[in-house]
């Protein structure tokens, strides 16, 4: 097995791994070595393409997460040490390169972060030696992968949400007093779970960064394959990173290929 370590601003070292020292938010060009390694081990992918999967009447690919069908010359495992955003950016690079057969482990700097909890992540030994447990890949219509969580709010989050949030065909936020929505990927089908945000987003004084936090309504959780929202001045936060511009609509949905995640049971 070829082992690559993406050290994204973390001090973790992995003996025997191919080490790449990166910032906590590596750019596409920073991660070129990942696609180069994937092409080296799988120059030609004989499995159905994304277009062929999309056209297929068989919807098994949207059921329980599955192991990747590709058979590279050698297994490739990428271990990301860093934040949820670091992990999300690495997953985004692999998804855009259509190299989701690559195994991915996570060593979080914050073991209580959404992705760390979802993945059961923590020790280096798990990320390096653990078993692959496929999980749904949740992405946006902008081509961004959500590693741990995402939030929708109006502007800075101080005012009630103007618009609607729908999970599959069910209305989650009808636009009558809620302040937005929060979603997380799930480790099983259908792919994501979301809940309304019922209080304004306010900065947390417990953190060094001014990260908006708010209460959610656990009695109104919806699960599905996709979440869509349309409205006024929608701000999107993915893995604690706020997009620089607001939008009028956004969609999160399950990618056709699953993450080959190295997770705890």
Please give the mean pLDDT across all residues of the chain. 93
Question: Is residue 36 a part of any domain in this protein?
Answer: yes
Question: Is residue 162 a part of any domain in this protein?
Answer: yes
Q: Is the pLDDT of residue 243 over 70?
A: yes
Is there a single domain that holds both residue 176 and residue 118?
A: no
Question: Cβ atoms within 10 A of the Cβ of 110, count?
Answer: 14
**Residue 216, SS3?**
strand
Give the residue-averaged pLDDT of 129-138: 97
Give the residue-averaged pLDDT of 37-65: 87
Is there a single domain that holds both residue 13 and residue 78?
A: yes
Q: Is the pLDDT of residue 208 over 70?
A: no
Question: Is residue 143 a part of any domain in this protein?
Answer: no
Token readout for 100 is 């989701």
Is there a single domain that holds both residue 8 and residue 130?
A: yes
In angstroms, the CA 121 to CA 233 distance is 35
Q: Is the pLDDT of residue 207 over 50?
A: no
Question: Is residue 246 a part of any domain in this protein?
Answer: yes
Is there a single domain that holds both residue 154 and residue 202?
A: yes
Is there a single domain that holds both residue 192 and residue 131?
A: no
Give the residue-averaged pLDDT of 183-207: 87
DSSP strands (E only) in the chain: 2-8, 18-22, 76-82, 103-108, 138-140, 150-154, 163-167, 170-173, 180-185, 192-197, 202-203, 212-213, 222-224, 226-238, 241-242, 247-254, 260-262
Question: Is residue 144 a part of any domain in this protein?
Answer: no
**Residue 39, SS3?**
helix
Tell me what pLDDT residue 11 has: 87
Is there a single domain that holds both residue 169 and residue 133?
A: no
Is there a single domain that holds both residue 170 and residue 112?
A: no
How far is the first Cα of the chain from the last one, in angstroms, to the nearest whole number? 22
pLDDT band at 113 (very low <50, low <70, confident <90, very high): very high
Is there a single domain that holds both residue 16 and residue 133?
A: yes
55-108 residue pLDDT tens: 877 656 678 999 999 999 999 999 999 999 999 999 999 999 999 999 999 999
Question: Is residue 72 a part of any domain in this protein?
Answer: yes
Token readout for 116 is 């760390």
Is there a single domain that holds both residue 106 and residue 169?
A: no
Question: Is residue 185 a part of any domain in this protein?
Answer: yes
Domain of residue 53 covers 2-137+257-262
Number of domains forming the structure of the chain: 2
Comparing C-alpha atoms, which of 109, 88, 75, 127 is closest to residue 262?
127
Residues listed for the chain: 265
Is there a single domain that holds both residue 119 and residue 176?
A: no
Is there a single domain that holds both residue 12 and residue 123?
A: yes
Question: Is residue 145 a part of any domain in this protein?
Answer: no
Is there a single domain that holds both residue 181 and residue 132?
A: no
pLDDT band at 205 (very low <50, low <70, confident <90, very high): low
């Amino acid at each position: 097995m070829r082992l690559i370590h993406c050290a994204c601003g973390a001090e973790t070292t992995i003996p025997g791994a191919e080490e790449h020292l990166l910032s906590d938010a590596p750019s596409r060009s920073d991660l070129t070595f990942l696609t180069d390694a994937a092409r080296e081990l799988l120059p030609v992918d004989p499995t159905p393409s994304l277009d062929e999967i999309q056209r297929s009447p068989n919807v098994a690919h949207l059921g329980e997460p599955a192991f990747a069908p590709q058979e590279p010359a050698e297994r490739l495992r990428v271990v990301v040490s860093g934040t949820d955003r670091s992990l999300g950016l690495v997953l985004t690079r692999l998804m855009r390169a259509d190299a989701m057969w690559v195994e991915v482990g996570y060593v979080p700097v914050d073991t209580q972060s959404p992705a760390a909890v979802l993945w059961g992540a923590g020790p280096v030994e798990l990320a390096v030696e653990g078993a692959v447990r496929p999980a749904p890949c949740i992405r946006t219509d902008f081509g961004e992968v959500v590693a741990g969580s995402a939030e929708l709010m109006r502007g800075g989050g101080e005012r009630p949400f103007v618009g609607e949030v729908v999970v599959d065909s069910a209305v989650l936020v009808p636009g009558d007093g809620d302040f937005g929505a929060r979603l997380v990927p799930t480790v099983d089908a259908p792919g994501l779970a979301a809940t309304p945000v019922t209080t304004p987003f306010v900065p947390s004084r417990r953190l060094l960064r001014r990260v908006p936090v708010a209460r959610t309504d656990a009695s109104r959780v919806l699960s599905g394959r996709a979440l869509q929202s349309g409205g006024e001045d929608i701000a999107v936060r993915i893995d604690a990173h706020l997009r620089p511009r607001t939008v009028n609509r956004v969609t999160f949905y399950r990618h056709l290929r699953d993450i080959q995640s190295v997770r705890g049971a």
